[in-house]
Amino acid sequence: MSDLPRKAVTRTAKLAALPLGFAGRATWGLGKRIGGRSADLVGRELQQRTAEQLFRVLGELKGGAMKFGQALSVFESALPEEIAGPYRAALTKLQEAAPPMPTDTVHKVLAERLGEDWRELFTEFDDKPSAAASIGQVHRAVWHDGREVAVKVQYPGAGAALLSDLSQLGRFARLLGPLIPGMDIKPLISELRDRVSEELDYALEAEAQQAHAEEFADDPDVLVPAVIHQGDQVLVTEWMDGIPLSEVIADGTEEERDRAGQLLARFLFSGTARTGLLHADPHPGNFRLLTGDAPEGPAEKWRLGVLDFGTVDRLPDGLPSTIGTSLRMTLDGEAEAVYELLCEEGFVKESIELDPEAVLDYLLPIIEPAQADAFTFTRSWMRTQAARIADPRSPAYQLGRQLNLPPSYLLIHRVTLSTIGVLCQLGATVRMRDELESWLPGFTPADTSPSVPEQPRSTAEETTA
């Protein structure tokens, strides 16, 4: 696959073939079982073949199909271990790379968006992409002033492909549901579709990235590359080296995993408190562990590099204090107060009446990471939570079906779950309570909002339209 297929009929045919493939494999599996093979063995083969087909197609199509695959990739921790392997291999391929578009297409886009003399802006430009994602790919280059830069080029036709893919995926969302136990696929697809126009707008992305770059300039824990130039369908930012989080997940030391996990949790809460923006695409491909001049440690010198601000939630007042307040009261066992607050915020509809103690019992296992001084996130813990909520025989399942998620919390909820999914992939031990006390409004009784530590500031390169 060398280019983004733009014809709607081509993309629709490929996506429509997925459920047919699932059905065909189910028939194949039945035949194998009739032939005497064990149901467990056949089931594992079925899962593997399904995973391979699904994520091969999603990766080839890029666009909304790949965006959906990347969103799913952070939840592989919830899969039963006996079938997680095939999914893990297929899913993680979507976190870092996709088939690139042809060089002449890249040059054509650059000529159209930066001018026929675009090469004069660079002293070097690598035609081979360093990364390829859902709506664009990144090329390493040297800006005319000598700075190493990342040049993000949007795929031609990406907008139409995104909308077409997500509409098509929405039609058979129920068939995809079993891929991730305990997760409702349809709202995820709807939410991704709602964000399409923002992600395609590189001006909005540049604005969000520059706001973070300026706020975190010289920060000891987080680095965000500054924006150097932004044009329609082209975004030029400072280059950032580092170890992709997917590599830390696969081969990282315990020290690397723990440091990456701590900084990821810190960025989730501090980024919103400090910028009024929530980075809303937390899959491993968007993060780097920066060891700099201390590759052997100490870990306190390592930083987290953050990329891709195409999807953000604008929260000028930071995360809602309701989250911190309800979390604190749940930990304190204040069932009636928690229930009353959830009712006020619309998490419990007026037509429904629940037992406050049952709600508390439902919430406590989920917020276990906030109870301990340090909590080790594991795939087994994630699977336990997913199974508890997904099992129709479980009281948690029955109660969960009666709770409501207000629209204003949809993206916050997905980002939080996704971040927890990545922490479980890392197997990181994280002092989560420290981050909540420092950054989450309402979590500390004495404060209604987090205080932002003084950071050395530097004037970042001004964005050029």
- The answer to whether residue 432 is domain-embedded is yes
Band (pLDDT 50/70/90 cuts) for residue 446 is low
The parent domain of residue 424 ranges over 243-453
What is the share, in percent, of the chain residues with pLDDT greater than 90?
50
Question: What is the total count of domains within the chain?
Answer: 1
Distance CA 389, CA 182 (A): 6
- The answer to whether residue 271 is domain-embedded is yes
Q: Inform me whether the pLDDT recorded for 457 exceeds 50.
A: no
Band (pLDDT 50/70/90 cuts) for residue 38 is very low
Active site annotation includes 281: yes
Catalytic residue among 219, 258, 281, 313: 281
Q: Inform me whether the pLDDT recorded for 29 exceeds 50.
A: no
Winning range, highest mean pLDDT, from 87-96, 206-215, 243-252: 206-215
Residue 334: the pLDDT is 96
pTM listed for this prediction: 0.78
- Bridge partners of 231? 234
* Alpha helix (H) residue ranges in 35-79: 39-61, 63-73
Report which of 193, 184, 362, 214 is spatially closest to residue 276, judged by C-alpha positions: 214
Distance CA 113, CA 8 (A): 25
Q: Which stretch of 1-10, 77-86, 201-210, 372-381 has the lowest confidence by average pLDDT? A: 1-10
Q: Inform me whether the pLDDT recorded for 46 exceeds 60.
A: no
- The answer to whether residue 211 is domain-embedded is no
Q: What is the pLDDT of residues 388-434, one digit of tens each?
A: 887 778 888 889 889 888 878 888 988 998 899 999 999 999 999 99
Q: What is the pLDDT of residues 325-359, one digit of tens each?
A: 999 999 999 999 999 999 999 999 888 999 999 99
Report which of 246, 306, 193 is spatially closest to residue 76, judged by C-alpha positions: 246
Distance CA 320, CA 341 (A): 12
- The b-or-e profile of 342-368 (16+ CB within 10 A means b, else e) is bbebebbeeeeeeebebbbebbeebee
Winning range, highest mean pLDDT, from 86-90, 138-142, 197-201, 411-415: 138-142
The C-alpha angle 459, 461, 464, rounded to 5 degrees, equals 140
Q: What is the pLDDT of residues 166-198, one digit of tens each?
A: 776 776 666 665 555 555 677 767 777 777 778
Q: 134 by DSSP, 3-state: which?
A: coil
The mean pLDDT of the chain is 80
Spatial contact of 226 and 237, defined as CB atoms under 8 Å apart: yes
- The answer to whether residue 217 is domain-embedded is no
Residue 383: the pLDDT is 85
Residue 411: the pLDDT is 85
- The answer to whether residue 408 is domain-embedded is yes
Distance from the first to the final alpha carbon of the chain: 33
Q: 448 by DSSP, 3-state: which?
A: coil
- The answer to whether residue 425 is domain-embedded is yes
- The answer to whether residue 48 is domain-embedded is no
Distance CA 290, CA 219 (A): 13
The C-alpha angle 192, 215, 209, rounded to 5 degrees, equals 35
- The answer to whether residue 69 is domain-embedded is no
- The larger pLDDT score, comparing residue 120 to residue 81, is at 120
Q: Centre a 10 Å sphere on the Cβ of residue 442 and count the other Cβ atoms it contains.
A: 22
Distance CA 214, CA 226 (A): 8
Mean pLDDT across 14-19: 54
